[in-house]
Amino acid sequence: MSASKNIVQIKEEKELRSTLEETSQAAVLYFWASWAEQCKQVESVVDDLATKYSKTQFFKIEAEEFEEISDAYEINAVPTVIIAKKAKILARVEGANVAEVVSQVASNCGAANGVGGKQPSADTKPEFKQDLNTRLKGLIERAPVMVFIKGTAAQPRCGFSRKIVGMLNEQNIKYGFFDILTDEQVRQGLKEYSDWPTYPQLYIKGELVGGVDIVSEMIASGELTEMIPEGSLAK
């Protein structure tokens, strides 16, 4: 995967300073350290976001290498993602809170990239919610066996999603998938709709079966194959 032009690993402090001074748009600053395991997760999300929000400048900053910058932004922990506009900090996300990173970038950088931007207050209107529920139902029923994962079936972006896809493939099950990293509305909405707080989520014939732990146990006991409709088992 080739890196986008709008994302740089800074080698000098002035790289950051000059860009921030020049642009009136929000920029994303990602602070990392090689000893913090969690950074890998956040880094891959930051890379993805850079591709999606191509008009926004993303900076990768090795926190301990650039102490002055880290101090200026009051970095206490890594990974930390800061969204800044000139000298102002618009948002700060500490730790591997991938959902929050995606949400904040969408909120603050969306408009500049023409991708929706801040969630309208229409969110809470009943008609909007009804439309969302209809949409979610449609997605869940899109295939007899449907899995909601982080990433794609070919390239899962999380250990648990990778595991569930692996298990379904091993059992020769034909399934549809939805990448919840591409749609924050579905990602949050589905948790509420199904009263299930995490991903991945497996549905069979429109009904929630569970996450990776449950699916794993059901495969071991033979229960899962019994639930799979005939057309979805590859011969």
Partner 1 sequence: MVTADEIESLIQTNIGDIHKIQIEDVSGGCGSMFNVMIVSDKFKGLMRLKQHKLVHQALGDKMKELHALTLKLYTEEQYQKTVSESAEAADKSQ
Alpha carbons 15 and 134: distance in angstroms, whole number: 47
DSSP secondary structure of 20-84: HHH--S-EEEEEE-TT-TTHHHHHHHHHHHHHHSTTS-EEEEETTTSHHHHHHTT--SSSEEEEE
**∠ Cα 50 55 43 (to 5°):** 15
Residue 25: alpha-carbon gap to chain centroid: 23
Exposure on the CB side of residue 210, measured as CA atoms within 13 A = 11
Q: Is 226 in the site for partner 1 (CB under 8 A)?
A: no
Q: In whole angstroms, how close is the CB of 37 to partner 1 at the nearest point?
A: 5
Q: Using CB under 8 A, pick the residue from 33, 90, 143, 214 that binds partner 1.
A: 214
Nearer to partner 1, 116 or 159 (CB): 159
The values of phi and psi at residue 83, to 5°, are -110, 120
Nearer to partner 1, 37 or 127 (CB): 37
Size, binding site for partner 1 by CB under 8 A: 21
Residues 65-124 binding partner 1 (CB under 8 A) are 95-98
Buried (b) or exposed (e) across 34-58, using 16+ Cβ within 10 A? eebeebebbebbbbbbbebbeebbb
Nearer to partner 1, 6 or 185 (CB): 185
Q: Which segment (17-25, 177-185, 214-222, 227-235) binds partner 1 by CB under 8 A?
A: 214-222
Closest CA to 183 of 137, 158, 150, 140: 150
Q: Which segment (34-42, 59-67, 120-128, 141-149) binds partner 1 by CB under 8 A?
A: 34-42
Q: Using CB under 8 A, pick the residue from 37, 127, 170, 230 that binds partner 1.
A: 37
User: Binding string to partner 1 for residues 180 to 199, with x set by CB under 8 A, is what?
Assistant: ---------------xxxx-
Nearer to partner 1, 22 or 213 (CB): 213
Q: Using CB under 8 A, pick the residue from 67, 123, 131, 213 that binds partner 1.
A: 213
The contact set with partner 1 (CB under 8 A) reads: 36-38, 95-98, 160, 195-198, 208-214, 217-218
